[in-house]
Amino acid sequence: MLADNVTDCHVLVVGSGGAGCRAAVEAAKYGDVILLSRSVTGKGGCTTMAEGGYNAVLNPKDSCSSHFEDTIRGGAYLNDRELVKILVEEAPERFADLMNWGAVFDLSCDCDGFEGTHPAQRHFGGQKFNRTCYSGDRTGHEIMATLMEKVRGGDIRIIQEVTVIDLLTETLSGGEVRVCGAVGLDRDGNMIVLRCDAVVLATGGTGQIYDVCTNCATGNGQGYAMAYRAGAELIDMEMVQFHPTGAVYPYDARGRLITEAVRGEGGYLKNSRGERFMAKYDPERMELSTRDVVARSIATEIAEGRGTDKGGVYLDVTHLGAAVIEERLPMMLAQLLNFGVDIRKEPMEVAPTAHHMMGGLRITPECRTTIKGLFACGEVTGGIHGANRLGGNSLADTQVFGKRAGEFAGKSVMHRALMNSPAIVGQLAAEELRFNRFLNGSDSIAEIKERLRKTMWENVGIFRTAEELETALAEIEELSEMTPKADSPAVLAECCVLEDMLTVAALVVRGALLREESRGAHVRKDIVQDWTPETSPYGHTYQSIYREGIEKAGAEDISAEGAGKGGNVQ
């Protein structure tokens, strides 16, 4: 199986969610762009599932420094300040782009601070101002619809339903490694080679390594694994956000997202005794505390026996009245009706679910990773959200950093790799060997995946100890020794994805072992610490094929003026 399918372009964007599409649109201003995705273009990724909203400072009474502070505080002071500064300052501009391109957001005419009609903004957890713009409870879908119009109307080549399995690299004369393309498999298992001047990784997160998650089927973390193999450095991989409110039943729907907008609109969390238990954990912010706090509170209620029979807690909106529910939460209403629950009349049952990866590729403000030629944006990057992401910040992240990644990748110097260079020939030969291993494999993909997801859920969840983490690591190592079986070439891609999942899971566990403190979404029950996140002696954890460790760094001034001084980007 030699690759006879070779395509060249200036910028290759991998992933067609919100960040990937935005990057492709921007990069197309500088040269020919290929937007490649595992799914049908625009249907992959989690953006389309994002319900609640997009944080942007629009109201004259709001301020970027307030958004900055909320983000840093919410992120337990682990965020890269420079990246956060960019996020909050550029989110309104990127929102304006979407509006100019045809996005249909909800409007309002009666918010204090605005004159006339303006985008409606709702309250989201952990923020001092109503700054979350929305389109009902299908905000991400609206953004994707807008971006897909822009992609279809632009000069962008689309390659869909191709699974990228590795980045191609070449070694420059000075010994530096440069990413120069990617290799993928099509639906039938044919190898496809793409050569380019720059790759933008926009492959999203990795919720699928957990048994219970909100992610779409392509949330396997392939981007982390491929970039890691190519030599890029990842930070804070232990920082996995558990969304407090995932569905509890039916079995196969476990983890499906119940949007934060339900609490934003005034929903109550109650335990089996009918108590609004958030009063115990965060009396001031109650249900609209940050996600890490709410998720831990729910997990504690359940663990201490105050959960429902089905293993969740109640999330109740019945007091809002049918009219409000129908107008503000139509999708939630429809989805739960589909599962036999009428949220106008009865409470939902919810429990935490793996949701978002705060950690990821270390990037500069220009979205450069630590290897030449490789850019990244969206959930696959780390540093922006620190140890806990605020709801509404990730849609903004996709647009702000999607645009930046597209722009700086687009500005890359053109110097095309040679197909017959020994390095590339060698890499393709290695892929062939990998395929042969899978075609002669003997272990079930589904079983390996299930064991991985179970061990991650049981041992690397909301509360962690070194012992459990070691257990998970041992299991992952055992699973990595197995050889998934490809019954036909069409299944080879699945085998590659599975190996990537194992790689990412190991990165998460090792990150969790490296971070000997509780901070944000990462809670080590076996560690006693005498510092708060603000005074923590630690910075990012980092991992690459060259080195791993944890940075020693103090928390800094969180005011906007302090931004840019404390970034840990190399």
CB of residue 168 vs another protein: minimum separation in angstroms? 25
Q: In a 10 Å sphere around its CB, with 0-12 CB exposed, 13-18 middle and 19+ buried, how is residue 68 labelled?
A: buried
Q: Residue length, the chain?
A: 570
Q: What is the dihedral of CA 102, 126, 543, 462, to 10 degrees?
A: -120
CB of residue 68 vs another protein: minimum separation in angstroms? 18
- Does the protein bind another protein through residue 14 (CB under 8 A)? no
CB of residue 309 vs another protein: minimum separation in angstroms? 13
- Give the active site residue among 263, 389, 519, 540: 263
Strand partners for 368: 375
By CB under 8 A, the count of residues binding another protein is 70
Closer residue to another protein, CB minimum distance, 40 or 527 = 40
x/- mask, another protein, residues 470-509, rule CB under 8 A, reads ---------------x-xx-xx--x---------------
Q: In a 10 Å sphere around its CB, with 0-12 CB exposed, 13-18 middle and 19+ buried, how is residue 535 labelled?
A: exposed
Closer residue to another protein, CB minimum distance, 98 or 417 = 98
Among 472, 454, 473, 460, CA closest to 525? 460
- Give the active site residue among 178, 243, 328, 464: 243
x/- mask, another protein, residues 89-128, rule CB under 8 A, reads ---xx-xxxxxxxx-xxxx-x-----xxxxx---------
Closer residue to another protein, CB minimum distance, 94 or 296 = 94
**Dmax over Cα atoms in the chain, in whole Å?**
69
Return the structure tokens found at 21: 């599409």
Q: In a 10 Å sphere around its CB, with 0-12 CB exposed, 13-18 middle and 19+ buried, how is residue 380 labelled?
A: buried
The amino acid that residue 410 corresponds to is G
Among 381, 52, 356, 19, CA closest to 214? 356
Closer residue to another protein, CB minimum distance, 213 or 462 = 213
The string of DSSP letters for 72-88 reads HHHTTT-S-HHHHHHHH
Say if residues 53 and 133 touch (Cβ distance below 8 Å).
Answer: yes
Return the structure tokens found at 465: 């100890």
Q: What is the C-alpha separation between 141 and 391, in angstroms, rounded?
A: 16
Closer residue to another protein, CB minimum distance, 59 or 480 = 59
Concerning whether 243 is annotated as a catalytic residue, the answer is yes
- Does the protein bind another protein through residue 153 (CB under 8 A)? yes
x/- mask, another protein, residues 370-409, rule CB under 8 A, reads ----------------------------------------
CB of residue 144 vs another protein: minimum separation in angstroms? 9
Among 105, 112, 116, 22, CA closest to 56? 105
- Does the protein bind another protein through residue 543 (CB under 8 A)? no
Residues in region 213-272 near another protein by CB under 8 A: 216-218, 249-253, 256-257
CB of residue 66 vs another protein: minimum separation in angstroms? 16
The string of DSSP letters for 307-344 reads S-TTS-EEEE-GGG-HHHHHHH-HHHHHHHHHTT--TT
Among residues 46, 87, 164, 232, which is the contact residue for another protein, using CB under 8 A? 46
Residues in region 313-332 near another protein by CB under 8 A: 331
Closer residue to another protein, CB minimum distance, 58 or 380 = 58
Q: What is the C-alpha separation between 391 and 260, in angstroms, rounded?
A: 7
Among residues 5, 444, 532, 559, which is the contact residue for another protein, using CB under 8 A? 444
Among residues 18, 52, 74, 136, which is the contact residue for another protein, using CB under 8 A? 136
The string of DSSP letters for 141-185 reads HHHHHHHHHHHHHSSEEEEES-EEEEEEEEE-TTS-EEEEEEEEE
Closer residue to another protein, CB minimum distance, 235 or 257 = 257
Where along the sequence are the contacts to another protein (CB under 8 A)? 39-44, 46, 48-49, 56, 58, 92-93, 95-102, 104-107, 109, 115-119, 135-136, 138, 140-142, 145, 148-150, 152-153, 158, 160-161, 187, 216-218, 249-253, 256-257, 331, 335, 338-339, 444-446, 485, 487-488, 490-491, 494
Active-site positions?
243, 263
